[in-house]
Every structure is written in structure tokens, then in C-alpha cells.
Amino acid sequence: MNLNAFKFGLACAVSTSLIWVVCSFLVLVLPKIMLSISGDMFHMQLANIGWHLNIIGALIGLAFWVVATGFTGWLLASIYNRLL
């Protein structure tokens, strides 16, 4: 079964954008809890750092991750199709 590499990459990009928006919203609404969770995920103590979230930074991050995951999804599907 071949995967459509473009559609798979697009699905990755859309999924990432949804997760990014939800995560950014949670950082905005619950900054201390999200900082604690992020520190736990990276095995680091981040309590003294704090968030510096603004709309421009959130949009730049969104654009970067959408492009990066879209390309990665396309690449994975392309490699998968060649391995069949």
C-alpha cells in the first residue's frame, strides 16, 4: 500500500498546527502549570525562567513547526513508499 506523500505531509502539518494552538492557549491561560509540565518533560527545572509568549512569537513558531512537520511527514511517506 502506497501512501500519498503530499497528503500525509499535509496531515502532519495540520495536526501540528492544532496541537500548537492548543498548547499556546494553555501557556497563555495556565503559564505556571505549563512551565512545570514542560520542565518535567525535559527533565529540567524551568520555574525560574518563565514564559515570554506574544502573538508574533506564537505565529512564527506555528509557521516553523507546520513547515518542519509537513516536510518530515512527506519525507517519511516518500521513504516508506520506496521501501515497499
Answer whether residue 74 shows pLDDT above 80.
yes
Residue 53: what pLDDT?
85
CA gyration radius, the chain: 16
User: Is the model's pLDDT at 62 over the cut of 90?
Assistant: yes
Distance CA 39, CA 31 (A): 12
Say what the pTM is: 0.83
Q: pLDDT digit string (tens) for 21-61?
A: 999 999 999 998 999 998 898 888 887 887 888 999 999 99
The stretch 55-74 carries a mean pLDDT of 96
pLDDT of 68 higher than 90: yes
